[in-house]
Structure 1
Amino acid sequence: MALDRLTLGLWIRMLVAGVVAGVGMVVLFVAEVAFAALMAAVFIEAIPEFALIILGLVAVVAVTLGLWITVAATYRRLMPAPLVVGRVSHDGMADALEPLARGLANPTVPVTRRGLAIAVGGPVLAFAGYLAIDLLPVVTPFVLGFVVGVGLVCYGTGRLVYEEVTADGAVRDDIAETARVPASDDADSDDELEAERRAVQARVDRLAAQADAPSPTVLLGRSSVPVAASVGYRPATSSIVVSRGLVDRLSERELEAVLAHELAHVINRDAAVLTALSLPATKVEAMFAEGEQHEDAQEQETNTDPSTAGPHSGFVLVAAVPVFLVTSLAIASLARYREYVADRGAIALTGDPAALASALETLDRDVTRQPGRDLRGHGSTAAFSIVPPPWEEHRFFDRTRRFVRRRLFGTHPRTERRVRRLREVTREYE
């Protein structure tokens, strides 16, 4: 009966989180399309006459830069820069001309691919839109702007999804760095560490065979900090990262239970589910990150008030803030509940809830003792660990901050509550 309630609770939370994520994506899509359509329509309507002039200027700059790079490359091959300034007899003049000659001989391309695409694509779209409006009465600046807006938002969303999917390896590398996993080409590889890794891999292989699931790859690190985390969207390509500190601190039964817990996460595809449902919140974070970068560039280049500029309008950010909060709350609730599900999965594999409860108590106690620099700097990987990172006390509003960060937006339930539930299951097994 307990398993049925747990499964029902999981599906209800997944349904709620899925609905919230879907609605959030729709709201963000509509807001971004409206803003992009408005900007595109204004751009097409206001400056089509200058499109050819802008294109001409871009062409002149491109040709000039191309000739400069070609001449400079030829110059570097035929004559090094000091030979030119060395002919100047006055030492002070030579010293002054040397940086200039080196700069002319080594031109830097100040245009990024994105900037070049905007510089060329913007005028081309404006001129094409101007012609379309003149030739086709059905086409209006708003209609054309809407089409352009949909295209831009679809491209941005697709790029975000691609980056999230391909970020799997980056997360694994981050966790591996925390555990101090040696690189595959490390010349100072530890044979003893490799032997321990194979022993842990054998345990995981046996548990995976028992669960009739593909066995993830085990990565064992040298860190004395206890680390246990699973990462991967598909069981066949997933990894379980553990540290030597974890293996040394836990008993055989406790280690088995922890590995079974991480394997349950892999089998349930928790990383893939949570990543997919977190896309709206990730999209909002990307908006704010892009806005901060734009503001910094404006401050450095023009010294204007950064609050008056930005890639997204105010009403888009107004729509984004509630989407971020509601989505983050739903995802955090689901993430905490999936820890209970993974605990239950570990029990199903090992039949030993007491071992998992003891392991959680040991890991939570040891993590709390670790210096802040060892774990708190890796907040991006906290959701993948078996226990939450230690809480850093704050001088002001510590309880409020802890409630918000741990209770509302935390990815893990309290370890004491998990242990209590496991103790209750232990009594059922006795």
Structure 2
Amino acid sequence: KQEYPELHDKVGKLAKKAGIPKPRLYISSMKVPNAFATGRNPDKGVVCVTQGLLDQLEKDEVKGVAAHELAHIKNRDTLINAVVATVAGAVAMLAELAFWSSLFAGEDEGEMVSALAFMIVTPIIATIIRMAVSRTMEFRADSEAVKITGNREGLSSALQKISSENKRSKPQKHVSKVQESGANLFIENPFSADKMTKYFSTHPPLEERLENIGSTEV
């Protein structure tokens, strides 16, 4: 708090406007501008911003990003994400169990093919649903941030700068599954790639987010 008194004060005031306790605040040494929030409820909230975000964004832009992360905490999005991921994983396991059960039960070829198709398709559908939930939460957090700050331009400008910097940075070729699974926590997916389709992305396209922000009443 002694190192970043202005940021702590800003987050505290925004949290009060959002109607939640001031979360713990951390600064990451990452040079790429980004931020994320976690915590299963507002009392356990944590917001982390990167040094790159503080260095490259203007005050109103940082304010918009902070409000977006506070909205995630207010909406308990970390908890929702965990529940959705757990359910999706359970569904995938049940599909695989059904396949192996039919295999060892000596089912005929037609039923085996159906079980195999079910095992392959079910996890894909579960993933699509999980990503759709994540994108919905991003839209909602963007809208909440505008209402908290009373300013559309700050968040819109911040998202454009963050997206531009992520595209400019060299692609990360060796991203682990653990790292990628946490991409939904960030305000902008730091591991996004051009080939990633909309339906398998944790975040909505930038253009759609800007349109959503523009249509949100201040």
TM-score range, shorter chain: 0.7 to 0.9
The one-letter code matched in structure 2 to 1:313 is W
- Cα separation, partners in 2 of 1:214 and 1:248, compared to 1, 3 Å: same
How far did 1:261 drift? 0.3
Per-residue displacement from partner, 1:171-200 (whole Å, max 9, x unpaired)?
xxxxxxxxxxxxxxxxxxxxxx9512x432
Per-residue displacement from partner, 1:296-328 (whole Å, max 9, x unpaired)?
xxxxxxxxxxxxxx9x82549745444322222
Which residue of structure 2 lines up, in the alignment, with residue 350 of structure 1? 149
Asked if structure 1 preserves the Cα contact closer than 8 Å seen for 2:30 and 2:50, the reply is yes
Structure 2: gaps of 5 or more residues: 104-114
- Cα separation, partners in 2 of 1:225 and 1:194, compared to 1, 3 Å: farther
| Pair 1:313-2:112 in alignment | no
State which of 171, 195, 216 in structure 1 corresponds to 2:3: 195
- Structure 1 distance, partners of 2:211, 2:173, is 28
Query: How is 1:12-411 mapped onto 2 (pairs within 5 angstroms)?
Result: 195-196=3-4, 198-283=5-90, 313=100, 315=102, 318=116, 319-373=118-172, 376-377=175-176, 378-389=179-190, 391-392=192-193, 402=195, 405-411=196-202
How far did 1:209 drift? 1.1
Asked if structure 2 preserves the Cα contact closer than 8 Å seen for 1:213 and 1:267, the reply is yes
Asked if structure 2 preserves the Cα contact closer than 8 Å seen for 1:284 and 1:321, the reply is no
- Structure 1 distance, partners of 2:180, 2:94, is 20
Which residue of structure 2 lines up, in the alignment, with residue 141 of structure 1? none
The one-letter code matched in structure 1 to 2:124 is L
How far did 1:252 drift? 0.5
How far did 1:390 drift? 5.1
How far did 1:375 drift? 9.1
Q: Which has the higher contact order (CA 8 A, sep 6+)?
A: 2
Structure 1: gaps of 5 or more residues: 1-192, 292-309, 394-401
- SS of the residue corresponding to residue 139 of structure 2 reads helix
- Structure of larger gyration radius: 1
How far did 1:218 drift? 0.8
Higher share in helix: 1
- Structure 2 distance, partners of 1:331, 1:277, is 6
- Structure 2 distance, partners of 1:199, 1:374, is 36
- Cα separation, partners in 2 of 1:242 and 1:315, compared to 1, 3 Å: farther
- SS of the residue corresponding to residue 240 of structure 1 reads strand
Asked if structure 2 preserves the Cα contact closer than 8 Å seen for 1:280 and 1:323, the reply is no
Q: What's the TM-score, normalizing by structure 1? A: 0.43
- Structure 2 distance, partners of 1:413, 1:391, is 11
Asked if structure 2 preserves the Cα contact closer than 8 Å seen for 1:368 and 1:390, the reply is no
Which residue of structure 2 lines up, in the alignment, with residue 109 of structure 1? none
- Structure 2 distance, partners of 1:335, 1:315, is 34
The one-letter code matched in structure 2 to 1:347 is V
**TM superposition outliers: structure 1 runs of 4+ over 6 Å:** 285-288
- Structure 2 distance, partners of 1:212, 1:282, is 33
Aligned-CA RMSD value: 2.8
Asked if structure 2 preserves the Cα contact closer than 8 Å seen for 1:364 and 1:387, the reply is yes
Equivalent residues, number: 203
Asked if structure 2 preserves the Cα contact closer than 8 Å seen for 1:387 and 1:412, the reply is yes
Per-residue displacement from partner, 1:55-77 (whole Å, max 9, x unpaired)?
xxxxxxxxxxxxxxxxxxxxxxx
- Structure 1 distance, partners of 2:18, 2:193, is 38
The one-letter code matched in structure 1 to 2:131 is A
- SS of the residue corresponding to residue 278 of structure 1 reads helix
- SS of the residue corresponding to residue 197 of structure 2 reads helix
Q: What's the TM-score, normalizing by structure 2? A: 0.81
- Structure 1 distance, partners of 2:63, 2:185, is 18
